[in-house]
Structure 1
């Protein structure tokens, strides 16, 4: 709203004073009688004593409530500051009543800035949406939805932002995100760890501008980012905190917490891939580091601003998972169930297939989706299925997209669909 509406409280109270009984008028503070032993910091004052409250009730309810019938809301008054507005305020210098349109017909109030800096409509081109729906990725989105799973578009926009091509990237990714069944966009991964962003200021500018562009183009879609924050696993070790802060100067938890509190992202994914190796110098075991991390997350109250997701590839192995049933149960308990039970992570993103630089394929399932003990244990997590997600790249299917997704739907309620 751009019109500054001011309730004329003095006039309203004066009118109320005409019809209200004297006992209802403002009175000096009068202490209540508190029972013996009441702490000194407890303060009680009467707005109206029980006797006065009874008189007020009689006034409004007497004569079959005629005073209530006669009473009517005071009409609102709009005061427009006109040319004397404070900096940043707006107005046309004319008085307006409640019910008047905020902006006269035909006028546009503060048109949003689009990703390219221009004013006007920022909606995704309908032709681009139709073209995306017919593409291979669009058909994959449709298949994911048909299997009852929610979809996130998983992409990396840091390079586009640095190249000055954010507007084009938003249109490209937005055409996919506009498809039915898509929850939102994860627009960056390993933020501050594995991108060519040199300073905290650059990271903040990237997130701020990219978030604003995506929200303008795709209102209602959720936005997510992924990173790793090793310092959270240090617990009470100050030496660990100091050395990891020096090692990873861009991975400051305060920076990422601010993205949540400012509403620039709705979900923050925390990678757990470092837990087994990062803390050996300080004799901190992986389980202890994970516990420390989730204690920190709870203490920072990040869940009051957004959604926290744990991300892990611990169940994958070259070729396929070789865990026995007992080993799989322990791994799932430690890295899937524990974050959820800690009431810190609301969901867990599990990698089920990825390819190393040397070409080796790491999987949970066997080749061609063959079942194994690990998958059998994952299938038992039906109670938390909506909280389980995986990452799927339609460019490198195990069999084909339809077959792969049908298998993934046995365990997962959400899919992060990779998109260039």
Structure 2
């Protein structure tokens, strides 16, 4: 292994090369004689007609043979909601959300975007910001609108807050915890079965073992305590936690920690806390997109992909990477990951080659600010991304 391999990486032989050869020879000798001898054992069967044998007759199912993928309850075809065989109602509307509200949401820009993204083969999350609504005492009303869009076919989850604890919305950590608890409870009732996610940043993790850095980050960002944030996962409040990388390049210059080292420190800390055992961890990066569009050469784009996409995934802490492919700043400048109006672009062409990790790549898309139009944009985005967060107002 290379000299910079982390100390926690330990390799052990399951078998030495010599032992592996002996094992292979054992199983392959005499035309695989031992492999044939090691075949499945004869199944144990019971003849229910034989005197003295008793066979249970209360197993699930209707006792009839059905075709593969066919419904076993009459009336369940084409998405119907029949009564179960025993008479009880199988489908229950989400608490506080009517069928009319779900149908109305389907006609909105967000609802149509869900349909277009699903048709393009993308896994769909609904992206919303409920923190301001919670502060204003309007969580229930705002959550209903979000849940109605998330009820559309193809949507798998809801991201209900971004930059949580980093922005100026909340004053105390207890206030954030209360918001997360109430928001998740409300959304679980309105959108049962949907996964819930949040986005934040934890600057302390980038310090690694530098005590001076950790002391400063704790003082500077008192609301971003890793233990509190990790509790959202361990308590089952959220299913996905996205960690922003925007601070990694500049936040640690005082301690001579560059972006590469800060990123490495962060993922080591995430693994040490076993956050990925409780939920999905995502690395989020808005810096790949540049004002206008990227002007990188093929070689430069490949280097950026290695640093911004491959590194988090290879660190084995982040399961997905969320890249902002288009966003607009306060001055109205638009930053893109692709060429304007989808013009050819070296960065985008290199990203399109990442077919093997497409399911692990996600982006954020706002249907109210399309590059061309929603259908065209989502079809183009699906060439690189397997997942999309659809922003709803």
Q: 1:121 to 1:228 in 2, by over 3 A?
A: closer
Say which of 120, 127, 133 aligns to 2:106. 133
CA distance in 1, matches of 2:168, 2:375: 32
CA distance in 2, matches of 1:252, 1:370: 43
Q: 1:71 to 1:293 in 2, by over 3 A?
A: same
Q: 1:326 to 1:162 in 2, by over 3 A?
A: same
1:357 aligned residue: 330
The Cα offsets for residues 87-109 of structure 1, whole Å up to 9 and x where unpaired, read as xxxxxxxxxxxxxxxxxx99xxx
Q: 1:121 to 1:361 in 2, by over 3 A?
A: closer
1:340 aligned residue: 313
Say which of 282, 285, 301 aligns to 2:258. 285
The within-5 A match list for 1:20-419 is 122-419=95-392
- Compare relative contact order (CA 8 Å, sep 6+) and give the higher one, 1 or 2: 2
2:40 aligned residue: none
* Higher Rg: 1
Root-mean-square deviation (Å): 1.9
CA contact (8 A) 2:114 2:152 kept: yes
The Cα offsets for residues 138-165 of structure 1, whole Å up to 9 and x where unpaired, read as 1111000000001100000011111111
Q: 1:174 to 1:121 in 2, by over 3 A?
A: closer
CA contact (8 A) 1:157 1:187 kept: yes
Which ranges in structure 2 are unaligned for 5 or more consecutive residues?
1-51, 56-86
CA distance in 1, matches of 2:272, 2:257: 20
CA contact (8 A) 1:323 1:373 kept: yes
Using structure 1 for the length normalisation, give the TM-score: 0.71
**Secondary structure of the structure 2 residue equivalent to 1:193:** coil
State the Cα distance separating 1:195 from its structure 2 match. 3.8
Which ranges in structure 1 are unaligned for 5 or more consecutive residues?
1-68, 73-104, 107-119
The Cα offsets for residues 145-190 of structure 1, whole Å up to 9 and x where unpaired, read as 0000011000000111111111111211111000000011000000
CA distance in 2, matches of 1:164, 1:356: 28
State the Cα distance separating 1:376 from its structure 2 match. 1.0
**Secondary structure of the structure 1 residue equivalent to 2:160:** strand
State the Cα distance separating 1:406 from its structure 2 match. 1.1
Q: 1:135 to 1:70 in 2, by over 3 A?
A: closer
CA distance in 2, matches of 1:272, 1:236: 19
CA distance in 2, matches of 1:213, 1:135: 22
Aligned length: 308
Using structure 2 for the length normalisation, give the TM-score: 0.76
Q: 1:71 to 1:159 in 2, by over 3 A?
A: same
| Structure 1 consecutive aligned stretches of length 4 or more whose deviation exceeds 2 Å | 69-72
State the Cα distance separating 1:285 from its structure 2 match. 0.7
CA distance in 1, matches of 2:96, 2:301: 46
CA distance in 2, matches of 1:333, 1:313: 16
CA distance in 2, matches of 1:218, 1:132: 14
CA contact (8 A) 2:94 2:192 kept: no
State the Cα distance separating 1:121 from its structure 2 match. 6.8
CA contact (8 A) 1:267 1:308 kept: yes
State the Cα distance separating 1:314 from its structure 2 match. 2.4
CA distance in 1, matches of 2:190, 2:354: 37
**Secondary structure of the structure 2 residue equivalent to 1:281:** helix
State the Cα distance separating 1:218 from its structure 2 match. 1.1
